[in-house]
Amino acid sequence: MEQQQQQLRRKRDGVVQVLDGSEIRALVENRDAFARFVDDRFRKLDADGDGRLSVKELQPAVADIGAAIGLPARGSSRQADHIYAEARFQLAFEYNMVLNEFTHGKQDSVSKSEFQHVLSDILLGMAAGLKRDPIVILRINGEDLNEFVDSPRYEPEAAAIFSQVNSGDNASLGQCLLAALRQLTVDHGMPPASDSWVVENMVEPAMQELRSDQLDQPVSQESFFHEFKKLLSIITRRLQQHPVIVAHTENTFDGSGIRRLLSNKFEFDKLLDSVWRGVPKEHKDKTSKGYLRVALDRIADSASLPPYGAVDQVDAVVNEAFKMAKADDGKAVDKAEFKKLLTEILGAIMLQLDGNPIAVSTNTVVHEPMSAPSSLLSPTPLSPMVSSPCE
When pLDDT is cut at 50, 70 and 90, the band that residue 373 belongs to is: very low
What CATH code is carried by the domain that includes residue 118? 1.10.238
Residue 311 has pLDDT above 70, yes or no: yes
Angle between helix 291-298 and 312-324 (nearest 10): 130
What integer pLDDT is reported at residue 374 of this predicted model? 39
In the chain, beta strands by DSSP E: 16-19, 53-54, 109-110, 135-140, 244-253, 287-288, 332-333, 358-366, 387-388
Q: Residue 112 domain-assigned?
A: yes
What integer pLDDT is reported at residue 238 of this predicted model? 95
d(CA 388, CA 367): 8
When pLDDT is cut at 50, 70 and 90, the band that residue 70 belongs to is: low
d(CA 318, CA 320): 5
Q: Residue 363 domain-assigned?
A: no
* CA torsion angle 359 389 249 377 (round to 10): -150
- Is 378 in a helix, a strand, or coil? coil
What integer pLDDT is reported at residue 249 of this predicted model? 80
**Residues 158 and 233 grouped into a single domain:** yes
**Residues 84 and 105 grouped into a single domain:** yes
Q: Residue 378 domain-assigned?
A: no
As for how many domains the chain has, the answer is 3
d(CA 102, CA 107): 9
* Model confidence, pTM: 0.62
Name the domain boundary from 133, 168, 183: 133
Q: Residue 313 domain-assigned?
A: yes
* DSSP at 381: P
**Residues 236 and 285 grouped into a single domain:** no
**Residues 320 and 235 grouped into a single domain:** no
Q: Residue 9 domain-assigned?
A: no
**Residues 337 and 287 grouped into a single domain:** yes
* CA torsion angle 317 318 319 322 (round to 10): 120
Name the domain boundary from 249, 284, 307: 249
Provide mean pLDDT across the span 80-108. Answer: 48
What integer pLDDT is reported at residue 378 of this predicted model? 43
Name the residue range of residue 317's domain.
255-356
Kindly report, residue by residue over 202-217, the tens digit of the pLDDT. Answer: 999 999 999 888 898 9
What integer pLDDT is reported at residue 120 of this predicted model? 85
**Residues 49 and 157 grouped into a single domain:** no
Name the domain boundary from 249, 269, 293: 249
**Residues 230 and 329 grouped into a single domain:** no
When pLDDT is cut at 50, 70 and 90, the band that residue 109 belongs to is: confident
Q: Which tops the pLDDT comparison, 109 or 66?
A: 109
What integer pLDDT is reported at residue 182 of this predicted model? 94
Residue 252 has pLDDT above 80, yes or no: yes
Residue 44 has pLDDT above 90, yes or no: no
CB-based contacts of 371, cutoff 8 Å, min separation 6: 70, 382, 383
